[in-house]
Structure 1
């Protein structure tokens, strides 16, 4: 099942994450995912990719858990960029991630998309687009589209920045 973040608000994504963890019967924890090298029979590449993808998503869900406080957040989740060194570090780490996975155009389009679905304000989107201009372009990977996991990781970065404010 493909999840389009535009179709859901944060509460719905949280609910789906909890349901997936329940449905996986605990396989969402890294400790419970079998290590392919310890198995008697080898896994083919597709099964290894599936385990790695499950583990990665489980890690994203775990990162979001501390931000799942009692009161649901209202959109936009990130109304302003926090003004401290730690937040600036997180911003540059996030933008470098977007650049490495989709290049300048893809990263800028992703920021526009996040503003369109109210994950961040247009002011924050504009500030982040300005930051993009100052990052070394040698680390870019033009032409790739962001996956659902990439968007989920962006939501983790947004949640971290929101918590820093």
Structure 2
């Protein structure tokens, strides 16, 4: 038995198309949100593994603070730098990014020269005042920043 589309009642099809089931939409949104969270966790886990690998392969003399004294002048370093700043600005906005850079300088992750250049770049992105959708940076955000710092520091010595 085959179905013939000409035998369908157009009014019945219109009514079916106009009906929406809010619970299905909510379920779909929840599933998509869970998938986004699991992808984000996988990325952060990969970044943490990369950081541990960098630390374990670096010699003792390369692990002295500050980890990043100055910005490397290589093209790959610029790409990494802008990926990092994009991450910071997206997560915390301009004010919190500047605060984070000051914090990284105070704990010895970045040197004075690198911190100054980072601040200049962040101020270059300054637009309207920070929106309310930005939030304080958490521990995992700082760990990811350390991964970026490690990447940049490894480019500095090459």
Q: TM-score, normalised by structure 2?
A: 0.65
Ranked by relative contact order (alpha carbons within 8 Å, sequence separation 6 or more), the top structure is 2
Give the aligned partner of residue 155 of structure 2: 164
Task: Give the conservation status (yes or no) of the 8 Å contact 1:87–1:161.
Answer: yes
Note the C-alpha offset of 1:49. 9.1
Runs (5+) with no aligned partner, structure 1? 1-43
Give the aligned partner of residue 89 of structure 2: 99
**Root-mean-square deviation over aligned CA pairs:** 2.7
Task: Give the conservation status (yes or no) of the 8 Å contact 1:90–1:157.
Answer: yes
Q: Which one has a bigger Cα radius of gyration?
A: 2
State how many pairs are aligned. 122
Return the alpha-carbon distance in structure 2 between the equivalents of residues 83 and 104 of structure 1: 24
- Larger helix percent: 2
Task: Give the conservation status (yes or no) of the 8 Å contact 1:100–1:141.
Answer: no
Summarize the Cα distance change of 1:90–1:53 in structure 2 as closer, same or farther, 3 Å threshold: closer
Moved more, 127-136 or 92-101: 127-136
Cα deviation 1:57-78 (Å, max 9, x = unaligned): 4212222133122523000000
Note the C-alpha offset of 1:96. 1.2
Summarize the Cα distance change of 1:51–1:86 in structure 2 as closer, same or farther, 3 Å threshold: closer
Q: TM-score, normalised by structure 1?
A: 0.63
Note the C-alpha offset of 1:55. 3.4
Q: How does 1:5-154 map to 2 (within 5 A)?
A: 55-68=42-55, 69-72=57-60, 73-135=63-125, 137=127, 141=131, 143-154=134-145
SS at match of 1:149: helix
Cα deviation 1:123-153 (Å, max 9, x = unaligned): 1111100011222637x65541001110011
